[in-house]
Amino acid sequence: MSVAIDVRCVAKRYGSFEALRGVSLSIGQGEFFGLLGPNGAGKTTLISIVAGLTRASSGEASVMGHDVVRDFRAARRALGVVPQELVFDPFFTVRETLRITSGYYGIRRNDDWIDEVLANLDLASKADVNMRALSGGMKRRVLVAQALVHRPPVIVLDEPTAGVDVELRQTLWQFIRRLNRDGHTIVLTTHYLEEAQELCDRIAMLKNGTVVALDRTRSLLRRFAAGRLQLRLSGAPLPAALESLRIAEPSVAAAPPDARQAEGGTRVCLRVEDFGAIEPVLAALREGGCRIEEMELLHTDLEDVFVQVMRETR
């Protein structure tokens, strides 16, 4: 597979602070790739380096074989970026904005493609509306349209659905999936991990400026395939023999003690490797005098994987 984005030992320092610490990864042409991490992990810094908005302190990056420093014009023509922040010119309509953006790339008479992008992002009715008059969600749609207006082979989406409605998410992902099927490489950063799990073929997880996990989505889910047995118990506390299986469930850990005792029982969450591990757990509960008021088996999703990877790499 040909490489769309190649990052080699990229580091970025701001004084004594290291935002990136020797990040290396390759993204193949036609991939739908997820770049995940907590706030401050270095995702936006890495995207800014690939887009030519920030210079790396050391290391190299290229887009479609073009070095982002030595061959920056070709690298930027090959890339479309949807930024995290809402950035717009308040003096132009939506169509004028997209025509001006086309001009940045030397593209004339681009109205047919502009009309197609507007239609697919449900912006056709806003084509002649001034940018200042648009809602936040509509402005974000225009940012997506600007990133696509020159038909770049590589598209980077930095939190594209942050603060937008469900309708836009569905419309956007339908269009982006179509572009990916047509051969475009998509790089997505998002805090909506269910989106990444559904859309991305491969995922890299960053923490403190380093890559802490990089694998196919299915492989990551298999690696952390253990399920969670969520219980509400009464009659006796959790037996000591099962304490090693207890995991912190956010909704449980965050609840005050009196809330955990609500509804006549204590809520606990236990890690189980497979279905065969459930019966020994139930036997230990019975032997310890626990009554099971509620029980639910929850399967591992990407959010569970993300939380576990972040904990293991402290």
Q: Side-chain half-sphere of 275: how many Cα atoms within 13 Å?
A: 0
- 86-105 pLDDT tens trace: 888 889 999 999 999 999 99
Q: Is residue 85 part of a domain?
A: no
Instruction: Note whether 28 and 141 are same-domain residues.
Output: no
- CATH number of the domain that 234 lies in? 3.30.70
Could you give the CA distance from residue 292 to residue 282 in angstroms, rounded to a whole number?
A: 9
- Residue 226's contacts (CB-CB under 8 Å, 6 or more residues apart) are 271, 272, 273, 274, 300
Closest CA to 281 of 264, 263, 305, 297: 297
Mean pLDDT of 224-234: 81
Degrees (nearest 5) of the Cα angle 123, 124, 128? Answer: 95
DSSP 8-state secondary structure symbol assigned to residue 238: P
Task: Give yes or no: residues 171 and 34 share one domain.
Answer: yes
Burial of 306 (0-12, 13-18, 19+ CB in 10 A): buried
pLDDT tens digits for range 128-181: 999 999 988 888 889 999 999 999 999 999 988 776 778 778 888 888 999 999
For residues 142 and 159, membership in a common domain is answered with no
Task: Pull the structure tokens for residue 45.
Answer: 């810094």
Most confident of 118-122, 201-205, 259-263, 277-281: 201-205
Tell me what pLDDT residue 209 has: 94
Q: Is the entire prediction scored with pTM above 0.95? A: no
Domain-embedded: residue 54: yes
Q: List beta partners, residue 96.
A: none
The pLDDT of residue 224 is 67
Q: How far apart are CA 93 and CA 99, in angstroms?
A: 10
State residue 47's pLDDT score: 95
216 and 234 fall within a common domain: no
pLDDT at 62 over 60: yes
Within this chain, do residues 24 and 49 fall inside the same structural domain, yes or no?
yes
pLDDT tens digit sequence for 252-307: 444 444 444 445 678 999 988 777 888 999 999 999 999 999 999 877 788 888 88
To which H or E segment does residue 258 belong? helix 257-260
Question: Which residues span the domain enclosing 272?
Answer: 225-312
pLDDT value of residue 225: 61
Give the number of domains in the chain.
3
Q: For residue 161, is it within any domain?
A: yes
Tell me the average pLDDT of the chain: 88
Same domain for 291 and 169, yes or no, is: no
> What value does the mean pLDDT take over residues 78-88?
88
Residue 84 domain flag: no
- Residue 236 shares a structural domain with residue 213: no
In a domain, 160, yes or no: yes
- Residue 30 domain-assigned (yes or no): yes
Which of 222, 244, 276 is a domain's end point? 222
Q: Say whether pLDDT at 53 is over 80.
A: yes
Is the same domain home to 197 and 249?
A: no
Pairwise CA distance, residues 124 & 145, whole Å: 11
CA distances (Å), 50 to each of 56, 69, 121, 157, in order? 9, 9, 26, 13
Same domain, 209 and 258: no
